[in-house]
Structure formats: structure tokens, C-alpha cells
Chain A
Amino acid sequence: MYSKSILLVEDSATTRALIRAVIDEMGDFNTVEASSGFEALKLLPTQEFDLVITDINMPDINGLELMNFLKNNQRYSHIPLIIVTTERSEEDRKRGMALGATAYITKPFKADELQEVIKKELQI
């Protein structure tokens, strides 16, 4: 059995693969990938997630809109949220934290930084 389930929302396939590789390195996680906000909305009801990692700047709906949805839904409001941002998009990061993100990570990041944040959020 997988110990924890993570939903990873990111529209760049390469970034997604890299983050996934970093997570896989940590052990046996069930990482589910979504390439867009819409896909995330579809995947959310299919299983219980322990953590959501999302990019902010995406087509269709952006990360902030996705987070707002999660935070205002009883079923999902408890899930910790990590936002992936860039050093430039400080304004969007502030907005994300105001909306209830529990942590953020700035691209480019180091593998152990991301692992630290994930461990902290999952309390492992």
C-alpha cells in the first residue's frame, strides 16, 4: 500500500517529471499528475489526497483559482497546499499564501529543499 497520495498539478511536462522524480526518490508515494487545473478538478473526487502541489501560472484555470476551490470545499479544505512559483512572481506568491497555501517553493529549486517542504507538510 502507498503511504501517502500526492496530487501534482503542473502544465509543463518536464517540470512535472522532475518534481515527480524528486518525490519518487523519497519513497513509496502515490503521485497523481495533472497537466492542467481542469484535470486536477476531475482527479480530485477520485481518491483521497494527502497533499496538493500546484503551479500558479497555468492555462484554463490558474493555481489561485484551484486553491480557492479547494479551500472553500469541506471535503478538500484540510489538504495542505504547496505552491510552485518563480522568484519573479512575488505578487502571485503573496496572493497564494493569502488564499491559504501552506508552503511555497521557488523554481529553480534543489531536490532536498522540495523534499524538506513535502516532509513537513505531510508530517513524516
Chain B
Amino acid sequence: MNASKKEFIAEAEELLFESQQLMLEIQETYKTALNPDDVNALFRSMHTIKGLSGLFGHKGLSQFSHALESLLDEIRLGKIEVTDEVIQFLFKNLDILRSVVDLFRDEKEQDVTEHIKQIESFRKSKKGQVHGPGIEDMIDESITKVLSEYEEVRLKANIKGGKGIYLLKAVFDLATFDTSLDKLTKMIKTKGELISTLPTSAAVPEGSIGFNLMFAAGKQLNELKEEMKHEIEVLVPFKQGEPQPEKSQESSLRSITSTVRVDIDKLDRILNTIGELTLAKGAIKRIGSEMTTTYGHSTLVLDVHKISQTLERRLTELQDQVLEIRMVPVGQIFSRLAQVIRRYSKETGKEIDLEMYGEDTELDKHLAEEIVDPLMHLVRNSIDHGIEPVEERISKGKKERGNVVLKAFQKGSHIVIEVTDDGRGIDIEKVRKKAIEKGLLEPDVELGESEVIDFIFIPGFSTKEAVSEMSGRGVGIDVVKEKLSLLGGYIEVHTEKDEGTTFTLTLPSTVTIIKALIVRVGQGRFAVPLTSISETLSIKHKDIQTIEWKEVYYLRGEMLPMLSVGKMLNLETDKKDRSFAVVVGFGEKRLGLLVDELMGQYEIVLKSLGDYLRGLSGFSGAAEIGRHEVILVLDVESFIESVTKQRVVSNV
């Protein structure tokens, strides 16, 4: 994909996201106080998408957005009234538009001729005629001639509504006018509707700029003058009627932009460079220590230490700043899920109420993109298998509409995302039977509920015989788990019969550079991510007991399963009577990894194993430490799994 196409898609996606937000706003307000600015902004987004796709020669996209633009144009010009039907129609078509953009990114095209025809006939069926009063006699031509068609329509609508039309003249310093003007327009918007902003250089001193702001308000001139402390002229007097409620202060949707869009690949490269610098920093530190040993504490040596400390601090700052740039609010992916939920609720005929919490919680852009499909899968799963059909819900005494809750929050350096439904819950007995059927579980083994439920994460395991069209698509819930594991996270499930199910996804909120403990096993060295370590211990071999074929150690009275990394990987270990145990995992899923030596804490740049070694179980990646030595990073999750699932993981 070439650079400009990438930019185009990025811009289109951003505009689609914006449109989605605007639609939600419109849906919420259209009955009571529809803000014409929202409809206009939506029109503008579509207008831009159309312009862009035309320039890109994407005919389908251009024609489709053109049809939508025409529809929105008539809505904003008041020729079509906003109704629930119109809103649903727009939502549906935004979804289609998004899928066309998605396909375009994957170099595919979709035939949208039918959809375009539908929009056209919808527009024609809805179109009515709105007559505004003639404004020619009311307002001076010098003002009306610079109005765009839309602005003219808004002017007419306000006159028709009996509002006063006012002209406010302000003069600002040329260097700082945008902030002063921003303040002023915000104030005007609390009084009424801003119709046009006309810059002027007539009769203003050098180095400054004048603005004539035309606005409509349901107030008398003297009132406004007192409140705004500016020169105001009456163009059309206000017809006193019902007192108008003041609108709340709202920020403009597009202020003067001070942001840039950056390709995530570029940020990846910066992070990589920081990673390399971190290695160089490590080398300087090591050289410093070696110099101390050789030359003692001479001034030069102290200088090296000092500079290495400064370097360390600044590098950490730099890294934090870059990681921060990569953060996006989780609301961005939630709103995409909201779309899916709306669509599926229609397709399945199950009405769903969606609640979202913690949309402002931030996570890395890369992770956000990676996590959206797994979340999509869980949401589909909830609607498809979780939420019962209406009749069943009524017979259970539940409310008719199903409930899906998306919730995100920060937990230390991790982000937690929960998907909760109030459906029928997972049938534990069914899962148990299936596990026995598949030979995964001996019939006479007693397992706790949570252990039974964990079987659904095993590849190929599914309680539904006929894979439904929706959540199916050949993807099981095991894929969700695998994805999370790849991202350095994990998934948990909590279910109550007839109450519902909660999937809890925990994943790091940032990526790429991790702190790790380097351990030695015989001749080999490995990295264990610090985030998964709860503590380290030095233990005697004779304190390790064997219970039911499992090696365990009693840590503060609690049983901790142990696993020898040497045995797992077929490595010759030291012949000593003591070993170190690295305790990894959280909560009930903890495990002690037996190693020969703890070699210290490093910051490592996590790199993937590449296609050749992908699928190698037991390792999540590779990293470079010290003098260009490559070491493997242990995949703690898979180790924990191999012990808690009582399955023998073959030697790698």
C-alpha cells in the first residue's frame, strides 16, 4: 500500500469515527434539542470522504459517499426532517461505508450500486419543501452575499423561529486573534447560534484584524450588550415570546487543529531506536563498573557514572513520552463494537441495551488494533449464545431487552477490559460432558467449576454443535486466548447460570520495551518478563514434595506447583542442593519456575521470533542483551497452563 493511500485510509477512518460520534449525539438529541452544528459537521465529514475518494479514483466509494452527502445536505438544509427512521437509515449506511473502506484497505472492492440506489430513493421519498422567509429586504446584501447556501438556510430558519439576528463587531490583534475569537464564539454559542464569521480589514488599525460575527439569539439587544461587552448591531429584531433556555457551553468540534497524524510504523521505529540506545546505555554502565574495578574512583570514572545516570533518566523519559504518544482511548474501539452490536441485534432479532464505561482509559494503538477482533468475537458470542430469545427471557422473569456491558479500567501497568452479558451463562455440565467425550478429562476426576470452564479455551473445543453463522466463522474462543497470550495478556471467565457471563481481558497497556529478569539454567540464559513475576525464592530441593505426580512447594502454608525449566527444555542443570524459584502468575494460577541462577534485571526490547520459529511453544519472543547476545523470552502463560491443565507439554 503506498503512502498516500495509507494516509487516505487513515483520514477516512478518522472521519468515520467522527461521523459515528456525531450520529450518536444526533440520536440522543433529535427529539429535544437537535444541534444544527452536529448535522452540518456530519455533512462535512461525508463531503470530505467523497472528495478524497474522488481524488483517489475509487468510484464506488465516491459515488456511495456522494449519495449519502446529498441526503445529509437536504437534512441540514431542512428539506428532510430528522426522524428515527432517518437515523437508523444513516447508521446502516455508515456501517456499509466502513466496510467499503475496510475492503479498500485490503485491496478489494465491493459493488455498492444497489446501496446507492436505495439511498437515492430514500432521499426522494423523504424530501419535502421548506419555505423560509425572504431575507433580501431584511438584511443588507453586503452581508448575505458571502453566506454559503447552508448559512443562508440557517439564517432563514432562525428568522422564521422569531429569533433576533445580530451583528457583533470585534477587533483583535493579528497574532493572537484565533484564541480571542475562539473565546468569543464560544460565548456567542451559549446565547444562540453563530451563523457566520466574516473577517474584515476595513477600519481596523495595522497589525490587527476585524470580525463581523452574525448570530441569532432569543434575547433583546440591551440584554446581550450587557452580557457580552461588545458592540452589537440589530439586523432583525427579536420577537418576544417564550423565554429561551440558555444552551450549555460546548466546545467546537473542530478547533484550530494543532495535531499531526503519524504512521504507527514511524513510532515503532523510534521505539526500536530507543531500544538500541538502551542497550548502548547498558554498555556504558557496564564499562563504568569495569573502570571502577580497574582505576578506582578517579574523577574521570565518576564522570562516566554521572553521565550514564543522566542518560538513563533521559532515556526513560523519552521512552515514556513516545509510549504516551501511541496511546489511544479505548472508546475508539468501543464505538466500533457498538456498531457491531447494533447490527447483530437487528440480525438476530434480540434487542440489546449497550452500556459502556471507562471509554477514556488509554492503551497502546497497536494493542487496541490487535484486541478489537477478539473483543468483537466475545461480543458476538454474548449476543448469539448468551442472551436468550425474548420468550425465554420473559419466562425467566428477566427484562425483555438483553444487556451487554463493555467496561475498561486501568490496573497498575495493565488495562482490564470486561465484556458482560445478562444471558443464560455457560452450561458447566455440558462443558464437562464434552470434555469427557473429547478425552480431555477422565470421567471420575472431580474438577472445580472454574477449571471446567477453562476447557472452552482449548483449541477446537466448542459446546455448540452447529456453529452459528455469527460467532462461528471458524473462530473459537481459544483464538481469543491465544491472541491475548501473544500480546502478553490473559483472559478469565466468570459465569452464573441464568445470570450471565463476564469475560475479563487483562493486557499490558503499553508494548515493546519490557523489564525482565534474566535467569540461567545450565548453560542457557532466558528472560522472564518482570510483569508476570510476583517474587523470587531460594529453596532447598528436599523441601519440594511430590503430590499426585505434581511437584509442589509449601509457600507460607499455600501449595505452589513447581516446574523445573531444565526438565521442560531438556537442559543439563547444576548439581546443587539449592535452586532459585521464580514465582510467576497471579491469583490462583501461580507457578514456581526452578532455575539455577538469577542474573539480574534488564530492560529488553521484545522482538518476535519471526515466521520461521513462530508456533514454538514455551517462548514468546527473543531479545538482545549485553554484547549482542540473543536470548529467548519465556512464555510464562504456556508454562502455567501446562501445569494447571495437567497436560503433559512435550519437550520443545
CB distance from A20 to the nearest CB of B (A): 11
Interface mask (A82-120 → B, CB under 8 Å = 1, otherwise 0) = 000010110110010011000000011100000000000
Contact with B along A61-96 (1 / 0, CB 8 A): 110111111001101000000000010110110010
Also in contact, A108 and B257, with CB within 8 A (given A72-B202, A95-B148)? no
In the bound complex, CA of A99 to CA of B149 (Å): 14
Q: Separation in Å of the A104 CB from the closest CB of chain B?
A: 14
- Which residues on B sit within 8 Å (CB–CB) of A64? 146-148
Say yes or no: is B455 at the interface (Cβ < 8 Å to chain A): no
Contact status of A59 and B254, CB under 8 A, knowing A65-B197, A108-B55: yes
Tell me the A11-69 residues at the B interface (CB within 8 Å). Answer: 11-15, 17-18, 35-39, 41-42, 45, 56-57, 59-62, 64-69
Contact of B52 with A15 in the complex, beta carbons under 8 Å: yes
Q: With A13-B7, A88-B66 as known contacts, state yes or no: A108 contacts B54, CB within 8 Å.
A: yes
Across the interface, name the chain B residue whose C-beta is closest to A74. B201
Report the bound CA distance from A39 to B174 in whole Å. Answer: 11
Q: Are A73 and B54 in contact, with the CB atoms below 8 A?
A: no
B145 touches A38 (CB 8 A): no
- Give the docked Cα–Cα distance between A65 and B212 (Å): 10
Q: Which residue of B lies closest to A91 (CB)?
A: B149
List the one stretch of B42-50, B530-538, B595-603, B609-617 in contact with chain A: B42-50
- Contacts A41-B199, A42-B174; A108 near B51 (Cβ below 8 A): yes
CB contacts under 8 Å to A, within B1-21, are 4, 7-8, 11
A62 to B553, CA, bound (A): 74
Would A65 and B7 count as touching, CB distance under 8 A? no
A65 CB contacts on chain B under 8 angstroms: 146, 196-199
User: Are B198 and A68 within 8 A (Cβ)?
Assistant: yes
Chain B residues, CB < 8 A from A60: 197, 254, 256
Measured in the bound complex, the distance between the Cα atoms of B174 and A45 in whole Å is 9
Interface centre among B70, B175, B199, B257 (most CB of A within 10 A): B199
**A17 touching B196, Cβ below 8 Å:** no
Contact B199 A66 (CB under 8 A): yes
Q: Provide the bound-state CA to CA distance between A64 and B152, in Å.
A: 13
Say if the beta carbon of B252 comes within 8 Å of chain A: yes
Nearest Cβ distance between residue B261 and chain A, in whole angstroms?
7
B530 CB, min distance to chain A CBs, angstroms: 40
Which residues on B sit within 8 Å (CB–CB) of A57? Answer: 44, 47, 148
A62/B148 contact (C-beta < 8 A), A15-B55, A69-B201, A107-B55 known: yes
B69 within 8 A of A: yes
Inter-subunit contact A69/B4 (CB<8 Å): no
- Alpha-carbon gap, A41 to B4, bound state (A): 28
Q: Is B4's CB under 8 angstroms from A38's CB?
A: no
- State A59–B11 Cα separation when bound (angstroms): 17
Distance to closest chain A CB from B433 (angstroms): 56
Interchain CB contact under 8 A, A13 and B50: no
Is B369 interfacial (CB 8 A cutoff)?
no
Taking CB atoms, residues of chain B closer than 8 Å to A107 are: 51, 54-55
Contact check, B146 vs A14: say whether CB atoms are below 8 A apart: no
Judge whether B69 and A88 touch: CB under 8 Å: yes
Within 8 Å of chain A (Cβ to Cβ): is B73?
A: yes
> How far, in whole Å, are A88 and B65 apart by their CA atoms in the complex?
12
User: In chain B, residues 186-207, which have Cβ atoms closer than 8 Å to a Cβ of chain A?
Assistant: 196-202
Q: Would B51 and A39 count as touching, CB distance under 8 A?
A: no
Confirm or deny: B30 has a beta carbon within 8 angstroms of a beta carbon on chain A. Answer: no
Q: Indicate whether B178 reaches chain A with its CB closer than 8 angstroms.
A: yes
Cβ-based interface call for B439 (8 A):
no
Considering the chains assembled together, what is the distance between the CA atoms of A89 and B51 in angstroms? 12
Q: How far is the CA of A95 from the CA of B196 in the complex (A)?
A: 15
Contacts known (A12-B52, A13-B7, A107-B55); A99 close to B145, Cβ less than 8 A: yes
Q: Is the pair A12, B149 in contact by a Cβ cutoff of 8 Å? A: no
CB–CB B51/A61 < 8 A: no
A66 to B8, CA, bound (A): 27
Residues of B within 8 Å of A98, CB to CB, are: 145
Q: Tell yes or no: B382 within 8 A of A by CB.
A: no
What are 11 A-B pairs with beta-carbon distances under 8 A?
Answer: A12-B52, A41-B209, A57-B47, A59-B252, A59-B254, A62-B196, A68-B145, A72-B201, A72-B202, A91-B149, A108-B54
Residues of A whose CB lies within 8 Å of any CB of B are 11-15, 17-18, 35-39, 41-42, 45, 56-57, 59-62, 64-69, 72-73, 75, 86, 88-89, 91-92, 95, 98-99, 107-109
Given contacts A38-B178, A41-B177, 17 further A-B contacts (CB under 8 A): A14-B8, A18-B4, A36-B256, A38-B181, A41-B199, A42-B175, A57-B44, A59-B253, A62-B148, A65-B146, A65-B197, A66-B199, A75-B201, A88-B66, A92-B148, A95-B145, A109-B55
